[in-house]
Structure 1
Amino acid sequence: MPNRQKQAGNMTDYPLPYASQDLTGQVALVTGATSGLGWRFSQVLANAGAKVVVGGRRKERLDELVALIQKNGGEAAAATVDMTDSESIIGFVEAGDKAFGTPTILVNNAGIPDAQRATKMPIDLIDRVFDTNLRGPFVLATEVARRLMDAKKPGRMVNISSAAAFLYSGEGAALYSVTKAGIVRMTEALAVEWARFNINVNAIAPGAFQSEMMDGMLERVGDISKGMPRKRICDPALLDSSLLFLCSSASEAVTGTVIRADDGQNPR
């Protein structure tokens, strides 16, 4: 990822078009990689040339994903991570550093639902949702940022929020909505703080996309797609272009932005 300081009007060092999505030489960390969006994101980044460290709690699924990436010509390594445990999070970053060098891309994707009304949630579930969805991603982002600053390298961070950050139906999952709104504000705040270090922090807020979490929701409440404008649950592949844009040199001037990829499901 180039780090250029340009004078106004001087664009001679920028090729035309300046919009490469080649991630060769980059080291990416992806959490929540054992299924759903993280499973797809890991393969997309590897296909673009990044060396990918996949993280999650299920070691067998991580190993399966690494084998799949390697089969398709990519480079990957697996490291388990518990997003509720700070030591585990730091260990995950260290594992990535040991495998491929300083991580330059972070996809903060891990998250869990609450699926309950606020007054029905036991305290241990409140803690688990907060820690997994908000506290853990904050700890992980700061750990990666420290290493980038020490190495004087630019970086890209993509935090995965949700359309629920902007609209809540009132039918359960209030805390999930709160934590995903927190991810949006975290993105905006860290983008400002770290801009001078050439660390870009952005977010994607997906609507209803295929995943294990979505499968569980559909089992509980039925087919929600009937009430959507396009009457569909989106395929994770539809996020490929947004992810690659935010992880590549094409987004050099973009930081603190949230891409709302909700398929028109939520009114603005």
Structure 2
Amino acid sequence: MKNLFDLTGKVALVTGASSGLGVQFAKALARQGADVAIAARRVDRLEQVKAEIEELGVRCLAVPCDVLKTDQIVEMVQTVKEHFGHIDILVNNAGVGKGIPAEMQTDEEWLSTTRINLDGVYYVAREVGKVMIEQKYGKIINLGSIHSMVAMAGSPISAYCASKGGVLMLTKALASEWAKHNITVNAIGPAYFPSEMTQDVLAMEGFDAVVQMYCPMGRPGRDGELDGAIVYFASDASSYTTGQYLAVDGGWTAI
């Protein structure tokens, strides 16, 4: 029987891959045989991640890119295509998270979150989508959140929720639009996982009690527990799955 999760010969592009979940996603795809292009603003960290991925026996290309600068996105996509010849998988992971009370949030703070988390996802998907349409194949995986679906009592995350809710509907819209080109577009909705972005939240006094209250499994996610979801959406195992949102949240959004 064919291994539906084998990614040998595929090329994946992962944004926000200088730390945290982006690194985990890139390594998960590499372990399944995919060559990987990693993109982020912090070039020094990209080079370190590149070396770690190459130790897994695949090719890796590090490309600096700010997902709010469309000229850099166009250049990144062109560089990856020229280097590998094609782009089969996009993991749209770049994002930010900051809690600011809605009544105190400035226009600039609102836009900083919504632009990176939603506009940036669209800009990268648009440019990679052009390549995938031309080659008549593609797998796009957008990073949503449990906050694509639910908020949290008393938590000052209005901009984050709005942006991640937008990612969910953008995923559905692009999936509907590009299905005719043999491109699937899906989203993953993680709960709280250890990363550079969440370390302050996870360390907050009382957060363990919040997890106990909201998460049936009673704990944050662990390293590696998103790998199965990312590989599924990147592989032929999900060939008839598009426009979907998969919560990886210990049951958080089930109650």
Pairwise same-fold verdict (TM > 0.5) = yes
Q: Which of the residues 78, 86, 89 maps onto 2:70?
A: 86
**Stretches (4+) displaced over 2 A:** 218-231
Q: Which of the residues 126, 141, 146 maps onto 1:163?
A: 146
Aligned to 1:252: 239
Cα deviation, 1:109-128, whole Å, max 9, x if unaligned, reads 11101211122222222222
Pair 1:54 & 2:76 matched = no
Q: Secondary structure at the match of 2:254?
A: coil
Aligned alpha-carbon RMSD (Å): 1.5
Paired letter, 1:264: G
Q: Give distance in 1, aligned partners of 2:63 and 2:51.
A: 14
Cα deviation, 1:45-93, whole Å, max 9, x if unaligned, reads 1111111000111111110010011122121110111122111222221
In structure 2, the CA distance between the partners of 1:214 and 1:222, relative to structure 1 (3 Å rule), is: farther
Percent identity between the two aligned chains: 35
Q: Give distance in 2, aligned partners of 1:117 and 1:221.
A: 18
The 10-residue stretch of structure 1 (232-241 or 155-164) with the greater mean CA deviation from structure 2: 232-241
In structure 2, the CA distance between the partners of 1:218 and 1:94, relative to structure 1 (3 Å rule), is: same
Larger radius of gyration: 1
Determine if contact 1:31/1:55 at 8 Å carries over to the other structure: yes
Q: Which of the residues 107, 113, 117 maps onto 1:123?
A: 107
Cα deviation, 1:160-185, whole Å, max 9, x if unaligned, reads 10001111114111110111010000
Q: Secondary structure at the match of 2:198?
A: helix
Tell me by how many angstroms 1:216 deviates. Answer: 2.0
TM (norm. structure 1) is 0.89
Q: Which of the residues 156, 179, 184 maps onto 1:195?
A: 179
1:217-228 paired onto structure 2 within 5 Å: 217-220=201-204, 222-224=206-208, 225-227=211-213, 228=215
Q: Secondary structure at the match of 1:237?
A: coil
Q: Give distance in 1, aligned partners of 2:56 and 2:174.
A: 35
Tell me by how many angstroms 1:221 deviates. Answer: 5.2
In structure 2, the CA distance between the partners of 1:255 and 1:90, relative to structure 1 (3 Å rule), is: same
Q: What stretches of structure 1 of length at least 5 have no aligned partner?
A: 1-15
TM (norm. structure 2) is 0.93
The 10-residue stretch of structure 1 (92-101 or 190-199) with the greater mean CA deviation from structure 2: 92-101
Q: What stretches of structure 2 of length at least 5 have no aligned partner?
A: none
Pair 1:102 & 2:86 matched = yes
Tell me by how many angstroms 1:229 deviates. Answer: 2.4
Pair 1:33 & 2:10 matched = no
Q: Give distance in 1, aligned partners of 2:226 and 2:23.
A: 12
Q: Give distance in 2, aligned partners of 1:89 and 1:119.
A: 34
Q: Give distance in 2, aligned partners of 1:38 and 1:176.
A: 18
1:2-81 paired onto structure 2 within 5 Å: 16=1, 20-81=4-65
Cα deviation, 1:1-21, whole Å, max 9, x if unaligned, reads xxxxxxxxxxxxxxx4x6511
Paired letter, 2:80: G
Pair 1:153 & 2:136 matched = yes
1:194-213 paired onto structure 2 within 5 Å: 194-213=178-197
Determine if contact 1:33/1:55 at 8 Å carries over to the other structure: yes
Tell me by how many angstroms 1:95 deviates. Answer: 2.1
Q: Give distance in 2, aligned partners of 1:57 and 1:86.
A: 13
Paired letter, 1:243: I
